[in-house]
């Protein structure tokens, strides 16, 4: 049986059911990614044995699948709020990206040492897991329940951070990969990373601004039909991703920069219809990746980690962000319950899988890398999927308001 065809059928059926009950799902302690993950486990080799992939096929599917999905997700994140409403949060974003993310990488990498990993590989695990995931974060901050229960400022912080840090984690991952697999000299590695970051930002900004101006002009001349306009930003994301990869720039970062530049250029009334369909695509486009993840979970490697696996998971979930956000809540302008909420909902998901697959593509072939990253991602999907709706309600109606 063709495993890919089984994925099509399974994901299609799951998506139809979730779409039919989309409003109900948002109030239940079961997120769409969690249900997709469970479906993948059920279809995988340790249950029904209907989905079986070789390690090479797994890496290829994860690398390109997560790359495309991240492009769509960060574009959606860039469009979720008008750029004018984010200007007052620039210092907070800078602190989250320049301090919280590196600290998260260090804390997670230190926790990975408990799995018996070499220091360099453990630090690579930390780098892969440091960015917050825009796909899982979207399930927390979008939809009617989130708009009702969470203040806009909190949703903007989570959205902006999850969109930006997926691309900005690239230097941390690149440095860690260079230490694990020193294929080139430090000067060459630094130059390559600098180009991936700066080149990605410059390319994305230029293409996003040009696309925005073109949209404005086409709208004024009434040359753009409604159907193409709805998919315009997704087409832009794919274009920017492809061009960035052709010139060796950071694709995900470039797409986010393009989304921000496009957002800043077009009028809000022209962006809203696109935003609606982007949110729908973002909500369901990630399901195949989570089904694939469920089918390829490395259970045997997890067992080899022993009891340290549970300690690692708890350390990552509880220390990677919550304590850091509570310690920095004053400079971030957050109340204790704001800091607790933002600290907890910094999920690990598609972006971590992408960077793990990217590291393998760059020459890191130690199977413990995927084992550790997938362990943390699985724990995050379960923990954040089960707590999203409940914690939203607790935030909105605290026992002791503060």
CB 297 within 8 A of CB 44: yes
For every one of its 402 residues, what pLDDT tens digit does the chain have, with 9 covering 90 and above?
566 677 778 878 887 887 777 667 667 777 888 989 999 999 999 888 888 888 888 888 899 889 998 888 888 888 877 777 778 888 999 999 999 999 999 999 999 999 999 999 999 999 999 999 888 887 788 777 888 888 988 988 988 888 888 888 988 998 999 899 876 666 677 788 889 989 999 999 999 999 999 888 887 776 666 555 567 888 899 999 999 999 999 899 999 999 999 988 887 655 555 555 656 666 777 888 899 999 999 999 999 999 999 999 999 999 999 999 999 999 999 999 999 999 998 899 999 999 999 999 999 999 999 999 999 999 999 999 888 888 888 888 775 544
Has residue 184 been placed in a domain? yes
- 170-180 and 152-168 helices, crossing angle to 10°: 30
* Three-state SS letters, 33-63: HHHHHHHHHHHCCCCCCCCCCCHHHHHHHHH
pLDDT at 402: 45
Cα separation, 182 vs 175, in Å, equals 10
CA distances from residue 115 to 109, 134, 201 in whole angstroms, order as listed:
10, 27, 36
CB 6 within 8 A of CB 44: no
Tokens read off for 93: 């974003």
Instruction: Name the one residue in this structure whose structure tokens are 């059920």.
Output: 42
> pTM score, two decimals?
0.89
Task: Quote the domain boundaries for residue 371.
Answer: 3-20+31-396
Has residue 26 been placed in a domain? no
Split into its structural domains, the chain has a count of: 1
Cα separation, 127 vs 122, in Å, equals 9
Residue closest to 309 by CA, chosen among 126, 129, 171, 112: 112
Please report, for the domain that includes residue 46, its CATH number: 1.20.1530.20
Residue closest to 395 by CA, chosen among 356, 323, 344: 344
Residue closest to 73 by CA, chosen among 246, 256, 228, 240: 256
pLDDT at 270: 55
Cα separation, 123 vs 128, in Å, equals 9
Cα separation, 71 vs 57, in Å, equals 21
Has residue 25 been placed in a domain? no
């Amino acid at each position: 049986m063709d495993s890919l065809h089984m994925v099509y059928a399974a994901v299609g059926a799951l998506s139809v059911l979730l779409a039919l009950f989309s409003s109900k799902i948002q109030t239940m302690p079961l997120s769409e990614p969690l249900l997709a993950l469970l479906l993948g486990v059920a279809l995988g080799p340790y249950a029904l044995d209907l989905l079986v992939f070789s390690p090479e096929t797994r890496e290829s599917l994860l690398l390109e699948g997560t790359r495309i999905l991240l492009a769509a997700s960060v574009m959606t994140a860039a469009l979720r709020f008008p750029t004018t409403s984010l200007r007052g949060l620039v210092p907070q974003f800078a602190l989250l990206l320049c301090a919280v993310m590196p600290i998260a990488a260090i804390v997670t990498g230190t926790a990975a040492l408990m799995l018996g990993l070499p220091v360099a590989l453990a630090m690579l695990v930390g780098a892969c897991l440091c960015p917050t995931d825009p796909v899982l974060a979207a399930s927390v901050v979008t939809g009617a329940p989130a708009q009702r229960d969470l203040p806009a400022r909190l949703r903007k912080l989570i959205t902006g951070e999850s969109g930006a840090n997926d691309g900005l984690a690239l230097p941390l991952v690149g440095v860690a990969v260079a230490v694990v697999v020193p294929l080139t000299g430090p000067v060459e590695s630094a130059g390559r990373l600098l180009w991936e970051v700066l080149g990605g930002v410059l390319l994305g900004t230029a293409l996003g601004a040009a696309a925005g101006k073109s949209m404005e002009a086409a709208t004024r001349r009434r040359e753009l039909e409604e159907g193409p306009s709805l998919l315009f930003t997704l087409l832009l994301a794919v274009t920017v991703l492809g061009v960035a990869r052709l010139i060796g720039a950071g694709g995900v970062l470039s797409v986010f920069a393009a989304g921000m530049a496009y957002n800043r250029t077009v009028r809000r009334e022209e962006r809203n219809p696109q935003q609606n369909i982007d949110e729908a695509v973002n909500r369901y486009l990630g399901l195949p990746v989570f089904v694939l993840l469920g089918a390829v979970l490395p259970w045997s490697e997890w067992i080899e980690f022993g009891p340290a696996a549970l300690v690692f998971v708890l350390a990552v979930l509880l220390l990677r962000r919550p304590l850091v956000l509570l310690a920095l809540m004053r400079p971030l302008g957050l109340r204790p319950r704001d800091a607790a909420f933002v600290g907890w909902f910094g999920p690990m998901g598609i972006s971590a899988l992408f960077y793990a697959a990217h590291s393998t593509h760059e020459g890191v072939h130690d199977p413990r890398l995927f084992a550790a990253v997938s362990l943390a991602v699985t724990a995050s999907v379960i923990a954040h999927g089960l707590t999203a709706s409940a914690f939203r309600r607790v935030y909105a109606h605290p026992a002791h308001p503060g």
